[in-house]
Structure 1
């Protein structure tokens, strides 16, 4: 186990197993999860019972509980992003879709901040599906929206992303399956409390109707995310994370 005194800002670390990560140093609300051997480095000194960290693969800032120091190791080698082309993404789109469908077929419920099986939030499911085939995309729905190339819904292909919101910024994301159908993890109040398939063309299903009303457009992932190693903004406790 690595002690708090041994942690340094210049060292890369990695998780072993799945770790909950939080949106403030209070460690009350999940922001995301560290799956498998994801890497990170420190952003500052401990506050309360948490460390501010930056995840290496998507430049996502969050808080690691000091109670989970037994779940981290020194990284054997720093994370090195590999460029991924649109052609490579198209070749893997069937596997990306299959990941979401396999996840749907497991017992699951909507989990704000969830990025590991079996429970996901909307953008967590998208990130996990792309990561399953070696493609990193940003973590939150509004970040994913900003990362994509906007396309008309008539041009959407299976594997593209659909975005939803009743205002700004984007608050929900789904994976397009074709024929106006999409798969997503939706919440309890305005969704299915888990992963399901809905359609933009439904006139009878109330959940599909709701999302059709707040549909904002489609986007295409044209390249994998390339980490810069820098957080988006000043990182202090508390913070607010929209996932």
Structure 2
């Protein structure tokens, strides 16, 4: 069974990803939970025969790393330091986040449950990666993003706000899109309801088959008023999505 002795000592208590890593929902390393892009930092929590439970530093997300990938980590010299951003600073970065999503849409890709690394994303993975690209961290999953953002009504939607949906059979928010303005939103959608990838749809029941399928599922809207900062007292729900 692997133990902490299998990893080089870290002066910070954290490790940095040397390359993009897959992280899993269970210790048997089955079911992609999320991905950690090269350069992200994580903590080691618990060891089993096949895997190591880890917590990503930027969003506090907990998942499992396969032991075979342990060599893709290196000790982090310094602990992760978050950049604290408020609404005014975030507004200045929204266009950059939207540009990221639009660029991702132009690349060959498909929908990947758990995907947060190009080219294949799930819905919340795309949103998190887009805002992370401009230095704004959000929680990982759509229901976490819904809880973290400030609620607002449809008439108050502005470019860069998030739209949340709850799909049939789900007990909580299960899908997220970014509002582009002028009644349109961009999202990464799966095969059953969407297009198996990233696209733009109208935020009303007419205009596209996909938009018509998602419109009745709308749950709430959220405005990003701050970046996620570990330890700031916002208690993240990290149950498997």
Gaps in structure 1 of 5+ consecutive residues: none
Per-residue Cα deviation, 1:8-63 (whole angstroms, up to 9, x for no partner): 7971111011000001011111000010211111112x223110011000000000
Q: Retained in 2: the 8 A contact 1:56–1:229?
A: no
How far does residue 232 in structure 1 lie from its aligned partner after superposition? Answer: 4.9
Q: Retained in 1: the 8 A contact 2:144–2:236?
A: no
For the structure 1 residues 232 and 175, does the alpha-carbon distance in structure 2 shift closer, same or farther, using more than 3 Å as the test? closer
User: So what's the TM-score if we normalise by structure 2?
Assistant: 0.92
Partner of 2:28: 26
In 2, the alpha carbon distance for the partners of 1:132 and 1:232 equals 21
> 2:145 matched to 1:121?
no
Secondary structure at 1:26's aligned position in 2? coil
For the structure 1 residues 89 and 5, does the alpha-carbon distance in structure 2 shift closer, same or farther, using more than 3 Å as the test? same
Gaps in structure 2 of 5+ consecutive residues: none
In 1, the alpha carbon distance for the partners of 2:144 and 2:231 equals 15
Per-residue Cα deviation, 1:89-119 (whole angstroms, up to 9, x for no partner): 1001111100000000001100000000000
How far does residue 205 in structure 1 lie from its aligned partner after superposition? Answer: 2.2
In 2, the alpha carbon distance for the partners of 1:155 and 1:36 equals 37
Residue among 212, 219, 229 paired with 1:209: 212
Equivalent pairs counted in the alignment come to 235
Partner of 1:96: 97
> 2:172 matched to 1:169?
yes
> 2:142 matched to 1:141?
yes
For the structure 1 residues 229 and 30, does the alpha-carbon distance in structure 2 shift closer, same or farther, using more than 3 Å as the test? farther
In 2, the alpha carbon distance for the partners of 1:184 and 1:232 equals 23
How far does residue 125 in structure 1 lie from its aligned partner after superposition? Answer: 0.2
RMSD: 2.1
> 2:224 matched to 1:221?
yes
Partner of 1:193: 196
User: So what's the TM-score if we normalise by structure 1?
Assistant: 0.91
Using CA pairs below 8 Å that are at least 6 residues apart, which structure has the higher relative contact order?
Answer: 1
Residue among 183, 188, 208 paired with 2:186: 183
